[in-house]
Amino acid sequence: MILALFLGCAPLETVTEGELEVLTYNVHGLPSVITGDDTLGRLEQIAPLLDDYDYVGVQEDFTEEGNVILDSGTSLPFLARFDERVETERVYGSGLSSYSKSPFLSSDGVHFQDCHGFVDGASDCFASKGFQILEIELGTDQILQVVNTHIEAGGGPEDEAARAGNVEDLIREMALLSQEHPLLFLGDTNLHPEEAVDGALSMRFEDELGLLDVCTVLSCEEPNRIDRIYFRSGSSVELEALEWRVAPEFVDDEGMDLSDHDAIAARLRWVKSAQTE
């Protein structure tokens, strides 16, 4: 009987390449008194649409009620939320949540040091903005590093200064990430590359961290969007951008958008490097 069981067990397949469908989506998850619409109703429609993606980075998942709806409404099995408030006077946490088909091997959150505005600017100081740093299981014995963020909004000089501070925080922390493992960075950057100050910040961010913008690599028709997906290969796994798109499915039955941001999707191919096999 023992021999029969042993012979009947096929060895596990070693997975050394594949494709990833990823999504970044600012879901506008503030209370209805602020959004002016049925926020929880929109989130109920958004949640099951996340299921088609391997990894989803969500921004503005601010309220407990909204988060419960997203978590329970998607069938993606692995969830990670960064909801701690940096100070007691902040109303919300970071509003960042991640959903994945593959296990999270680690999950951490870092708060930005700077923000501007409670009743002025874009009122960013009501939230404890920052970024998630996660590791996701990729194939066989491989790791994908992921950073999900929502950077300072607003167009005034104080907002620009806070946004520059946020980028400095990201550069400092992301420089510590392993060069061995591939990296996926996504989120609502609030960086408008066609504007002088934001454009310089974007270039510095990309250059210092060696990041490639999926949209730019594929010469997409909308390079100035603030919701972005970047990637970087590692010494163990190479990443290749295959597709960038505005995900068309995030609309209601009447064709109205389910958020004040479009959902941005990308498809990437990953291959384990030959020297690591």
Q: How far apart are CA 53 and CA 184, in angstroms?
A: 14
pLDDT at 275 (0 to 100)? 64
In a domain, 7, yes or no: no
Give the DSSP H/E element, type plus range, for residue 160.
helix 157-174
| CATH code where residue 144 lies | 3.60.10.10
In a domain, 254, yes or no: yes
Q: Which residues sit opposite 167 in a β-bridge?
A: none
Please tell me the pTM assigned to this model: 0.93
Count: domains in the chain: 1
In a domain, 2, yes or no: no
Residue 19 burial (CB count, 10 A): 12
pLDDT at 25 (0 to 100)? 99
Which amino acid is residue 200, in one-letter code?
Answer: A
pLDDT at 51 (0 to 100)? 98
Instruction: Assess contact for 213 and 230: CB atoms under 8 A.
Output: yes
pLDDT at 119 (0 to 100)? 75
In a domain, 64, yes or no: yes
In a domain, 40, yes or no: yes
What is each CA distance from 249 to 5, 73, 155, 254, 263, in whole angstroms? 46, 16, 30, 12, 9
In a domain, 11, yes or no: no
In a domain, 6, yes or no: no
In a domain, 219, yes or no: yes
Structure tokens at 84: 């701690």
pLDDT at 5 (0 to 100)? 38
Task: Residue 123: give the domain boundaries.
Answer: 16-276
Q: How far apart are CA 84 and CA 109, in angstroms?
A: 9
Give the pLDDT of the chain (277 residues) as one tens digit per residue. 333 333 444 445 788 999 999 999 999 999 999 999 999 999 999 999 999 999 999 999 999 999 999 999 999 999 999 999 987 779 999 999 999 999 999 999 999 999 999 877 788 999 999 999 999 999 888 999 999 999 999 999 999 999 999 999 999 999 999 999 999 999 999 999 999 999 999 999 999 999 999 999 999 999 999 999 999 999 999 999 999 999 999 999 999 999 999 999 999 999 998 765 5
